[in-house]
Structure 1
Amino acid sequence: MNSGQTVTSTWRNALRYLPFVALAVSALVALWQSYRAHRTVRETHPPAELNLPKTVPHVSIIVPVRNEEATIDVCVASLLRQDYPDFDVTLIDDGSSDATPHLLAAWVRRDQRVQVHRVDQLPDGWAGKSHALHTGVTLTCGEWLLFTDADTCHAPQTLRLMVGHALGQQDDLLSTRMTLMTLSGPFMPLFMSITEILLAHRMTPAEVRNPASSCAFAFGQYILLRRAAYLATGGYAAANMHMTSIEDLALAIHFKQHRQRIELVNGRGLITNRQWTTWKSFRQGWERGTYGELIRSHIPLVSLPGGLAFIAYGLLPPAVLLHALYAGKVRRFSTLLAGIVLLAQIDAKRCFDREYDLAFPWSLGASVGWVTCGILLLDVGRLMLTGRGANWKGRQLVLFPGVSSVV
């Protein structure tokens, strides 16, 4: 056998064992995901029911709004029903072109606690939501600030519980995890928990609370923070914060870097959120966040190998099991590994599906969720390579090494 034949034989043997190696790695990843998912759910506690002081701090609620005619009335009505005694609501109209401005004007006439400020032109060097939130900070005077989204609905006790918890725990930033979402269509129930699993990879609530840990996270649907802490860190006015398209994560990391105390609590029963009701809005929302996170992490092109890895992770286990079932060729160890991967994927997804009140059959679609995630990640890579950027609410976000602009 000559050297060429030896090399060919070596490659052939390596390729023969590649599926087995991929299954073994997938099994380790899936078991780790299952462990992290259970730990995340276990560590996510509801806000403690603590007594408020006699003189409560004034809270300024800031809601960035852009073309939210379908949801804004429900949101504002729920905010004004809060049983907390001292707050106001500032609505930042970020250039809405639908009926939103008329709806906002009606709320100003209806309740003196509401004010509206319209941003007609986004300044150069700013992302829309970051600018809207910072504008709201400059227009208000509350000792505490609440950043919340226009597609949320708040139970009456939410602000009282959250402020009481933040004061009792001496938090500088308090956010909610596992907000009950309205999951419309087939994509959100299949995919939402996959996002939660990916987040559990990077942090758990206990790690976020730990001052010694660099782990930080916040969910943009509900971020309660001390004004003094926001101003001390520079908030979105800091030079590296203007352009962030993942304003919630960026703010949490920014606070943690400045040694501010961050905490996540369970928002179930307190806040509901309606978003991504169509495939288009789902894809754009997911790609916007992923696009911004990859740029922030300085690893933009990881989306290409990452997307392929997610697709393989979703397809390989069921493919091996189906091959064993229909071809009658059962390689016991490979089949066992495939079964372990599939069961662990389902278990991890089920952890979060229960939090969203999803029936068990949705958890069986874990593999489909991972494949969908991979396809979307590849599409993010396409947006980066072509320089097209991610689209969100009519604005084109283009962020590539050396280039930063919002159109």
Structure 2
Amino acid sequence: MMTILAYIVISFAFIQLLVSAVNLIFETYLPAEGKKDGPLVSVLIPARNEEENIGNILDDLLAQEYRNIEVIVFDDQSDDRTPEIVTLYTIREKKISLIDSAGLPEGWLGKNYACHSLAQSAKGEYFLFLDADVRISGNVIGRAVSFSDKKRLDLISSFPRQLIETPGEMITVPVMNYILVSLLPLVLVRSTRFISLSAANGQFMFFRAGAYKELMPHEKVRNNMVEDIHIARMFKKAGKNVSCLLGDNDLSCRMYRGFRDAVNGFSKNVIAFFGNSFLLAVLFFLVTTFGFLAVLASMPLSIFAAYVVACITARIIISVASRQNVFYNLLLIIPLQFSLGLFIYRASINKIFRRFQWKGRNLG
């Protein structure tokens, strides 16, 4: 029995290595070249208590090489200086506008309602939804337009390069890309019709406006906490063309600020990476954390060594593809794995007791 388990663990490690290599080699990022001018792109930013971030993303957008944009910010009942900051930008920049929330309707989550409302006001041929804490530079918008046109895509989503500044973030934030890049060949999101091969990140979602208006995705997922993945699946089910990519140095985000913030955030969506199956999430945690014991106990040292090399190589590839620090990701493998276990545990507790909260709102 132990030998069979060891073979399963070894096979899974090499599958992770293969998937990681595919994600490093094939269509990992937006193409380097992009248009400088073209159809109007509506950049849509839901914002709640984002006074530390909103000015940065607005400055980034005004500096984009792609000029034909409108920027609309939806203030989701912030109790900080977010609306005042945006108002100052609207005075000097005609392409920036602000929508104030009149309140959250029954049955909606805040971000989903904000995105839906933003889309109602957008005039562009493309809709780019950005979180307020995202940073973009260069010609990201033009690159997205070019890639969408070339591949005839209805939705492009990207996982921005995660900015990591504190020890608490170092042992939590890399977990997301470890799961994503080792399990899902991103090129298959675009090249196959399998709905199970879907992924998206609400931090950066670039829609062809016609496809968005046809499906009205945020309205259909109005009370779903993991709206991004569900929207990607919805688009693939409807026969739309979807692509999921990683962010390069021109697209980044400091997703969480510290350990507690990361645990609270990841516990909302970690199970979605496993098809909403707690069982698969737990099995992934057990195999990747304790599977080495079965290999060590029942296999020759040469095979155990090959297994360890495969695991380490996969971690290196994932870190390189994700533009993360290879040294720290290897050094902190053990706390990273136990953070994954904590995310899953917290997700289960939150599910049972409906304790999900984000930015002062109960999401349960």
Query: Given the two structures, how large is their TM-score scaled by the length of structure 2?
Result: 0.89
Residues paired across the two proteins, number? 362
Cα offset for 1:338?
4.7
Indicate whether 1:198 and 2:179 are aligned: yes
Give the counterpart of 2:169 among 188, 193, 203. 188
Cα offset for 1:52?
4.3
Question: Which position in structure 2 is the counterpart of 1:32?
Answer: 15
Give the counterpart of 1:208 among 189, 196, 202. 189
Where structure 2 has 5 or more consecutive residues not aligned to the other structure, the ranges are none
Indicate whether 1:114 and 2:91 are aligned: no
| Alpha-carbon distance between aligned partners in 2 of 1:103 and 1:89, rounded to the nearest angstrom | 14
Q: Is the 8 A contact 2:36 2:67 kept in 1?
A: no
Question: Which position in structure 1 is the counterpart of 2:253?
Answer: 273
Give the counterpart of 1:358 among 293, 310, 325. 325
Question: Which position in structure 2 is the counterpart of 1:327?
Answer: none
Q: Is the 8 A contact 1:93 1:116 kept in 2?
A: yes
> CA offsets, 1:322-346, max 9 Å, x none?
xxxxxxxxx6726555544443332
Cα offset for 1:319?
9.9
Cα offset for 1:163?
1.0
Give, as a single letter, the amino acid of the residue that structure 2 aligns with 1:31: F
Q: Is the 8 A contact 1:194 1:369 kept in 2?
A: yes
| Alpha-carbon distance between aligned partners in 2 of 1:46 and 1:316, rounded to the nearest angstrom | 32
Give the counterpart of 2:211 among 199, 204, 229. 229
Give, as a single letter, the amino acid of the residue that structure 2 aligns with 1:347: T
Question: Which position in structure 1 is the counterpart of 2:312?
Answer: 346
Q: Is the 8 A contact 1:308 1:374 kept in 2?
A: no
Q: Is the 8 A contact 2:130 2:204 kept in 1?
A: yes
Indicate whether 1:390 and 2:352 are aligned: no
| Alpha-carbon distance between aligned partners in 2 of 1:57 and 1:361, rounded to the nearest angstrom | 42
CA RMSD across the alignment = 2.6
Kindly tell me: are residues 352 and 308 of structure 1, through their superposed partners in 2, closer, same or farther at Cα, counting changes over 3 Å? closer
- Percent identity, aligned pairs only, is 21
Equivalences for 1:218-257 in 2 at 5 Å?
218-238=200-220, 241-257=221-237
Kindly tell me: are residues 338 and 254 of structure 1, through their superposed partners in 2, closer, same or farther at Cα, counting changes over 3 Å? same
Question: Which position in structure 2 is the counterpart of 1:100?
Answer: 82
Question: Which position in structure 2 is the counterpart of 1:373?
Answer: 340
Question: Which position in structure 1 is the counterpart of 2:61?
Answer: 79
| Alpha-carbon distance between aligned partners in 2 of 1:21 and 1:32, rounded to the nearest angstrom | 17
> CA offsets, 1:234-276, max 9 Å, x none?
22123xx111211221211111111111123443122111121
Higher mean displacement: 306-315 or 182-191: 306-315
Give, as a single letter, the amino acid of the residue that structure 1 aligns with 2:345: L
| Alpha-carbon distance between aligned partners in 2 of 1:243 and 1:221, rounded to the nearest angstrom | 18
> CA offsets, 1:93-136, max 9 Å, x none?
11111222221222222311111112242111112111111100
| Alpha-carbon distance between aligned partners in 1 of 2:16 and 2:314, rounded to the nearest angstrom | 6
Q: Is the 8 A contact 1:44 1:264 kept in 2?
A: no
Kindly tell me: are residues 314 and 335 of structure 1, through their superposed partners in 2, closer, same or farther at Cα, counting changes over 3 Å? farther
Question: Which position in structure 1 is the counterpart of 2:262?
Answer: 282
Question: Which position in structure 2 is the counterpart of 1:66?
Answer: 48
Give the counterpart of 1:48 among 5, 10, 31. 31
Question: Which position in structure 1 is the counterpart of 2:285?
Answer: 310
Indicate whether 1:23 and 2:3 are aligned: no
Question: Which position in structure 2 is the counterpart of 1:135?
Answer: 117
Cα offset for 1:314?
1.4
Cα offset for 1:199?
2.0
> CA offsets, 1:8-63, max 9 Å, x none?
xxxxxxxxx54x55433322222211111111121234433567497x21111000
Q: Is the 8 A contact 1:148 1:222 kept in 2?
A: yes
Deviation beyond 6 Å, 4+ runs, structure 1: 318-321
Kindly tell me: are residues 335 and 121 of structure 1, through their superposed partners in 2, closer, same or farther at Cα, counting changes over 3 Å? farther
Where structure 1 has 5 or more consecutive residues not aligned to the other structure, the ranges are 1-16, 322-330, 399-407
Give the counterpart of 1:149 among 131, 145, 150. 131
**SS of residue matched to 2:97:** strand
Give, as a single letter, the amino acid of the residue that structure 1 aligns with 2:309: L
**SS of residue matched to 2:236:** helix
**SS of residue matched to 2:363:** strand
**SS of residue matched to 1:286:** helix
Cα offset for 1:279?
0.9
Q: Is the 8 A contact 2:6 2:299 kept in 1?
A: no
Give, as a single letter, the amino acid of the residue that structure 2 aligns with 1:185: T
Kindly tell me: are residues 25 and 191 of structure 1, through their superposed partners in 2, closer, same or farther at Cα, counting changes over 3 Å? farther
Query: Given the two structures, how large is their TM-score scaled by the length of structure 1?
Result: 0.80
**SS of residue matched to 2:299:** helix
Kindly tell me: are residues 53 and 359 of structure 1, through their superposed partners in 2, closer, same or farther at Cα, counting changes over 3 Å? closer
Cα offset for 1:79?
0.8
Larger radius of gyration: 1
Kindly tell me: are residues 102 and 209 of structure 1, through their superposed partners in 2, closer, same or farther at Cα, counting changes over 3 Å? same
Question: Which position in structure 2 is the counterpart of 1:4?
Answer: none
